[in-house]
Amino acid sequence: SKKQRSQKLAALPLREELRGQEPYGAPQLTVPAMLNVNETTYDVPADVVEAITEQVRRAATELNRYPDREFTALREKLAHYLSRESSLEAPLSAESIWAANGSNEIMQHIFQAFAGPGRSVLSFPPTYSMYPLYARGTYSDYIAGEREEDFTQSPESVAQQIRAHRPNVVILCSPNNPTGTALSLDVVEAAYEAGEDSQAMVIVDEAYGEFRQQGTPSALELLPGRERLIVSRTMSKAFALAGGRLGYLAAAPEVADALRLVRLPYHLSAVTQAAAEAALDHSQALMANVERIKTQRDRIVSELGEMGLDPKPSDANFVFFGGLQDEKTAWQHLLEDGILIRDVGIPRHLRVTAGTEEETTSFLESLRQHLAAES
Ligand code: PMP
């Protein structure tokens, strides 16, 4: 039974700080509309499935050998993709790129190299809830910073908190999960300058970067001349490749050299490299869905507003909204209609992923019915 297993776990010589903890993870339920973990809900396009299959088939003939430890071809493609995606004046070189099994592993590498025992990490909740867990896993001290009432961040407040805490690593999440809004570059610049004293590495987690509103710049633009700045991205969201597990970053080449010191040898399997390369070869086809998702995202914001709820502006593929009488009953009502969204533990608020037009319609209709029944 569950109880016996947990008693057996308690009998193991587990690290003190892991005792009584639950593993991280949202419910994985199979329902008609799974809108709770910000995946792309469109199927992988047929020609992309073909291309991935073909490239993995070729990789399979050499699976007796270890993969390219330096994932050279993949880094070239990622550098090229990012330079184009953000229209960078100074294109990135492959030496500026590092990759790992999801941006979760990217973050773990950064913490292993730049945080750790006796060092600290600062981020600004409500934000991605894995940040304190990377800190726990690497024995780093975690500092929870503060945001404004409306969940935004000002350059002054961010700089002041960095000067006060003198962290070794700062994480800015832009667009922020779960609140959805991107940071303007002056916040990133202010964080970088304020981190000068404690020589803080400043990470901008742009997991949702491709969904940003027209005119919102990427922090990639700030990389030249800033060797403590890291911009992290993932193929889990815009590339519809969450199952492929490929996260990556752009930074000064010496940052990648630092991460080489902590990565496990051959951490990116040949199968992973093949799948990611094939998806990158089809980035244009995959980005067509990004546009469709952005349309549904904007529709959710406007319709929730019309319903009298309080949706936050979103640069991501999800919308965070408040104004509910009770988030638990709303979440349950949606689930009974076959729609799974995310309760992030903030009273009267929920977060929904922008899916296909049909999924969005069913979400909005179900929520409308719930609100009508409540009043
Ligand atoms: N950063 C943010 C802000 C996220 O929301 C997520 C996934 N939910 C990740 C990183 C990790 O994504 P992955 O490991 O799939 O790249």
* Global pTM exceeds 0.90: yes
Residue 375 predicted with pLDDT over 90:
no
Q: Please identify, by atom number, the ligand 1 atom nearest to the C-alpha of residue 127.
A: 3
Q: Where are the alpha helices (DSSP H) in 179-326?
A: 185-194, 253-260, 270-281, 283-306
Query: Ligand 1 centroid to 372 CA: how many Å?
Result: 35
Q: Is 102 in the pocket of ligand 1 (CB under 6 A)?
A: yes
Please give the share of the chain, as a percent, with pLDDT higher than 90: 95
pLDDT tens digits, 293-335: 999 999 999 999 999 999 999 999 999 999 999 999 999 999 9
pLDDT tens digits, 212-252: 999 999 999 999 999 999 999 999 999 999 999 999 999 99
- Give the whole-angstrom CA distance, residue 191 versus residue 69: 33
- Give the whole-angstrom CA distance, residue 28 versus residue 25: 8
Q: Is 36 in the pocket of ligand 1 (CB under 6 A)?
A: no
pLDDT tens digits, 99-133: 999 999 999 999 999 999 999 999 999 999 999 99
Q: What are phi and psi of 37, to 5 degrees?
A: -125, 20
Is residue 306 within 8 A of residue 56, CB to CB? The reply is no
Q: Is 247 in the pocket of ligand 1 (CB under 6 A)?
A: yes
Q: Is 170 exposed, middle or buried (0-12, 13-18, 19+ CB in 10 A)?
A: buried
Residue 17 predicted with pLDDT over 90:
no
User: Cα dist. 214→73, 311, 360 in Å?
Assistant: 30, 19, 22
Mean pLDDT, residues 152-170 = 98
Q: Please identify, by atom number, the ligand 1 atom nearest to the C-alpha of residue 247.
A: 16
Taken in order of first residue, the domains within the chain and their CATH numbers are: 2-45+285-374 (3.90.1150.10), 51-282 (3.40.640.10)
C-alpha closest to that of 248 among 127, 97, 87: 97
Query: What is the pLDDT at residue 28?
Result: 85
CA angle, corner 177, sides to 175 and 144, nearest 5? 105
Model ipTM over 0.90: yes
Our mutation pick for probing the ligand 1 site, out of 104, 172, 208, counting the most ligand atoms within 8 A of Cβ, is 104
* Residues ≥6 apart with Cβ < 8 Å to 52: 44, 274, 275, 278, 279
Our mutation pick for probing the ligand 1 site, out of 35, 39, 111, 130, counting the most ligand atoms within 8 A of Cβ, is 130
What is the DSSP secondary structure assignment for residue 95, as one 8-state letter?
G
